[in-house]
Amino acid sequence: MDHGKAWGYLTFRGKTETVMKEIDQAMYHDWRMVPKHEEEAFKKFTPVPEETVRYLPYPPLLRAMILAQWEKEGRAITEEPLIDLKKSVASHLQESKKKTTGTSV
């Protein structure tokens, strides 16, 4: 802007901040000047709910290694091996530490 000051609410990725900020760099696309006659329609915007992913397929090489291990163990391969994103990695590491007994020499 050439002169004056503007204030507004930043909306980023469909989430609007609760605090009004001074627009110091209006050249960024995060800010949009909404004309008064479009303001009500702009405020009625409803964001799309975020889609969370719980499981992902393993990368091809790791998937092949898991399937080979299952085949070696004699397990029936009925389902696709998937990574559980909600499972914490720290608990897996703690379990492996509990299994080791004695001292490492």
**Each residue's pLDDT tens digit, 16-35:** 888 888 877 766 666 677 78
Query: Which class for 31: exposed (0-12), middle (13-18), buried (19 or more C-beta within 10 A)?
Result: middle
The pLDDT value recorded for residue 1 is: 45
Residue 65: CB atoms within 10 Å? 13
0.75 exceeded by the pTM?
no
Query: Which class for 11: exposed (0-12), middle (13-18), buried (19 or more C-beta within 10 A)?
Result: middle
Tokens coding 47: 């964001």
Look at 6 and 99; give whichever has higher pLDDT: 6
The pLDDT value recorded for residue 33 is: 75
Write 102-105 long-range contacts (CB < 8 A, 24+): none
pLDDT tens per residue across span 54-84: 899 999 999 999 999 999 999 988 889 999 8
* Residue 74, Ramachandran bin (φ over 0: left; ψ between -120 and 50: alpha; else beta): left
What are the φ and ψ backbone dihedral angles of 86, each rounded to 5 degrees? -85, -20
Tokens coding 63: 């998937």
The pLDDT value recorded for residue 101 is: 63
Percentage of residues in the chain with pLDDT exceeding 90? Answer: 22
